[in-house]
Amino acid sequence: EYGIKCVVDLNHTFFSPRMAPERLRLAQQVARGERVLVVFAGVGMDALQIAARTEAKEVLVIERNAIACECIRRGKLMLSRNKTAPCPGSGKGASERMRILEGDALELLPTLEEESYDRIVAPRPKEGSLDGDLGTGDAGMSFLLAMLPLLKSKGEVHWYDFAADHELPNCDRTRKTLESACQSLGLEMEIIHVARVGSIAKRQWRVCVDFRIVAKPAA
* Model pLDDT for residues 1-60, shown as the tens digit of each residue: 999 999 999 999 999 999 999 999 999 999 999 999 999 999 999 999 999 999 999 999
Q: Stretch 202-208: mean pLDDT, rounded?
A: 86
Over 60: is that where the pLDDT of 135 sits? no
Q: What's residue 27's pLDDT?
A: 96
Give the pLDDT band (50/70/90) at residue 175.
Answer: very high
Q: Stretch 166-195: mean pLDDT, rounded?
A: 94
Using an 8 Å Cβ cutoff, are 104 and 20 in contact? Answer: no
Q: What's residue 36's pLDDT?
A: 98
Over 90: is that where the pLDDT of 186 sits? yes
Q: What's residue 64's pLDDT?
A: 97
Over 60: is that where the pLDDT of 132 sits? no
Q: Which long-range contacts (CB under 8 A, 24 or more apart) does 79-88 make?
A: 79/4, 79/5, 79/48, 79/51, 79/52, 82/3, 82/4, 82/5, 82/52, 84/3, 85/3, 85/4, 85/52, 85/53, 86/52, 86/53, 87/51, 87/52, 87/53, 87/54, 87/55, 88/55
Q: For 79-128, write each residue's pLDDT tens digit.
A: 999 988 888 777 788 999 999 999 999 999 999 999 999 999 999 887 76
Over 90: is that where the pLDDT of 141 sits? yes
pTM (2 d.p.)? 0.93
